[in-house]
A and B are shown apart, each in its own frame.
Chain A
């Protein structure tokens, strides 16, 4: 087996695993939120969710039928030996995982409007590159972007006069319109930057951050907490049907901005937040950081 085949195989297996089992931080947070609900309806919803995750592992099936469009955020060292092959092997790994897991066929070519039946197409899976100088490692975040949690995604540029008060309204308005249908409790990613595309990409990368982590900027971290408590206080609860908690967390990522503009974007992950995190060294020894007990 070549090194390319080996890495393809590991990633395909890892994708399959993430379809069936949620990452450790999500399970821990859902366990915590479950204990905070007191209404019979919210309890029944959580009981169903936990039973579903048990059955998915037991019966070896994807826990949600919408296994999403696969998205990869790659932080690749310039000296990682497979850097040239990486994008092609990720595509191959998605095809392999689609048939082995199995995953739902979620790649429709735009304009020609047909489903490729392989889960890959022009530009899918999505791959975002961060090049890391002087490193021979490759760090990959995997994400299954389902339809329900993709729909609330929204980006715009605010005028500075609207300030962070405008950012607050922008995020909360989205929660009561689209958020309640996106399978709460949600992980909410917010990008605050200089334009739509910088904010939008950050809002997705924010969803890759572990639940419970905080923005290193003190004001941004304060705003994460205010938004988290504020969205919870709206009372959307699990599935938007009412309850004490509607979010697993709010993660804000930011850059500097033009003095005349505040780019802002929101992206959400559903309760079934199928994120994976794996790191390869130059010899393809790998470590899974998101799911304990998984080794390749």
Chain B
């Protein structure tokens, strides 16, 4: 069983199966314990376009769209500390995400802001979810990292390296795409745009300063 409830928190513990995710819906708040690997632009390109094998096994585990600040402790022996880590805009990975999920078997994608059909289709077809961690909270996120287990593709530099972390109750994670393919941001945007048009009409009546 990979879903635990502790102190009222719903915690996903890796490895996670598609079955574990089936009762999790958009708007739910969850936490993650276990294997989380930072993975962003170039790593997605390498896996999807270059066909390279990802050197960290993310199957049934989680990735985080992020470029952290890392402090080397003993870099020759692969020891690093997570100083500060926050999500980056997930939308940049949208074009790769369907194939990325298909190839790697990742279950939980964490980032910032919404994603679109490529990702929601992947979540639906392969049993995965996309979550956002509230951005700007780099210290909260960093203290959830117990250990950086390994660092791969270090040739990509600090932000783009695959930092494979062992995390404890990493979150809060707000589910933005669930494994049925429902998309929180896309649903909210319909409501936002409707209300925006109402507000433009309302304000316009009161700012006729050019007469």
**Assuming the A-B contacts A48-B134, A52-B137, A164-B210, are A65 and B192 also in contact, with contact meaning beta carbons closer than 8 angstroms in the complex?**
no
B70-108: which residues lie under 8 A (CB-CB) from chain A?
83-86, 89, 91
User: Is A64 on the interface with B (CB-CB < 8 A)?
Assistant: yes
**In the complex, how many angstroms separate the beta carbon of B127 from the nearest chain A beta carbon?**
24
User: Is B69 on the interface with A (CB-CB < 8 A)?
Assistant: yes
Question: Which chain A residues border B69 with CB–CB below 8 Å?
Answer: 62, 65, 102, 104
**Assuming the A-B contacts A176-B192, A234-B196, A235-B191, are A181 and B83 also in contact, with contact meaning beta carbons closer than 8 angstroms in the complex?**
no
Question: Which chain A residues border B84 with CB–CB below 8 Å?
Answer: 61-62, 64-65, 104
Question: Which chain A residues border B188 with CB–CB below 8 Å?
Answer: 240-242
State the CA gap A163–B138 with chains docked (Å): 42
The chain B residue sitting closest to A105, CB to CB, is B158
User: Is A4 on the interface with B (CB-CB < 8 A)?
Assistant: no
Contact of A172 among B132, B143, B174, B200 (CB under 8 A): B200
Stretch of A6-14, A124-132, A199-207, A220-228 contacting B (4+ beta carbons < 8 Å):
A220-228
Contact with B along A48-85 (1 / 0, CB 8 A): 11011001100101111110000000000000000000
Contact of B29 among A44, A51, A52, A104 (CB under 8 A): A44
Contact of A227 among B83, B135, B139, B203 (CB under 8 A): B203
Does the CB pair A233–B89 fall under 8 Å? no
Does the CB pair A65–B138 fall under 8 Å? yes
User: Is A187 on the interface with B (CB-CB < 8 A)?
Assistant: no
Contact of B174 among A65, A176, A241 (CB under 8 A): A241
Contact of A41 among B66, B174, B193 (CB under 8 A): B174
User: Is B140 on the interface with A (CB-CB < 8 A)?
Assistant: yes
Does the CB pair A66–B137 fall under 8 Å? no
**In the complex, how many angstroms separate the beta carbon of B155 from the nearest chain A beta carbon?**
15
**Assuming the A-B contacts A164-B209, A181-B113, are A63 and B139 also in contact, with contact meaning beta carbons closer than 8 angstroms in the complex?**
yes
Does the CB pair A61–B139 fall under 8 Å? yes
Contact with A along B23-53 (1 / 0, CB 8 A): 0000101000000000000000000000000
Does the CB pair B135–A219 fall under 8 Å? no
User: Is B68 on the interface with A (CB-CB < 8 A)?
Assistant: yes
State the CA gap A223–B205 with chains docked (Å): 11
Question: Which chain B residues border A272 with CB–CB below 8 Å?
Answer: 136
The chain B residue sitting closest to A60, CB to CB, is B139
Q: Which of B83, B85, B86 neighbours the largest number of chain A CB atoms within 10 Å of its CB?
A: B86
State the CA gap A199–B7 with chains docked (Å): 51
Question: Which chain B residues border A242 with CB–CB below 8 Å?
Answer: 188
Question: Which chain B residues border A163 with CB–CB below 8 Å?
Answer: 207-210
Does the CB pair A241–B200 fall under 8 Å? no
User: Is A293 on the interface with B (CB-CB < 8 A)?
Assistant: no
Q: Main secondary structure on chain A at its contact with chain B? A: helix
Contact with B along A22-63 (1 / 0, CB 8 A): 000000000000000000110011001101100110010111
Question: Which chain B residues border A59 with CB–CB below 8 Å?
Answer: 139, 143
Contact of B192 among A168, A180, A227, A271 (CB under 8 A): A180
Question: Which chain A residues border B191 with CB–CB below 8 Å?
Answer: 235
Does the CB pair A168–B136 fall under 8 Å? no
Contact of A40 among B29, B91, B200 (CB under 8 A): B29
Contact of A49 among B114, B134, B193 (CB under 8 A): B134
State the CA gap A59–B81 with chains docked (Å): 14
Contact of A176 among B132, B135, B193, B198 (CB under 8 A): B193
Question: Which chain A residues border B136 with CB–CB below 8 Å?
Answer: 49, 52, 63-64, 183, 270-272
Does the CB pair A240–B174 fall under 8 Å? no
**In the complex, how many angstroms separate the beta carbon of B192 from the nearest chain A beta carbon?**
5
Contact with A along B178-192 (1 / 0, CB 8 A): 000000110011011
Question: Which chain A residues border B184 with CB–CB below 8 Å?
Answer: 241
Q: Which of B27, B66, B84 neighbours the largest number of chain A CB atoms within 10 Å of its CB?
A: B84
**Assuming the A-B contacts A52-B140, A61-B84, are A172 and B207 also in contact, with contact meaning beta carbons closer than 8 angstroms in the complex?**
no
| 28 A/B residue pairs, CB under 8 Å, sorted by A | A44-B174, A52-B139, A55-B143, A59-B139, A61-B139, A62-B138, A63-B138, A64-B86, A64-B137, A65-B66, A65-B67, A65-B68, A65-B84, A65-B85, A104-B84, A163-B210, A164-B207, A164-B209, A164-B210, A165-B204, A167-B207, A172-B196, A176-B196, A181-B89, A236-B192, A239-B135, A241-B184, A272-B136
Extra contacts besides A172-B199, A241-B188 (18): CB < 8 Å? A41-B174, A44-B134, A44-B174, A48-B137, A55-B140, A65-B68, A65-B69, A65-B138, A163-B210, A165-B200, A167-B207, A172-B196, A172-B203, A176-B189, A181-B91, A233-B195, A240-B113, A241-B184
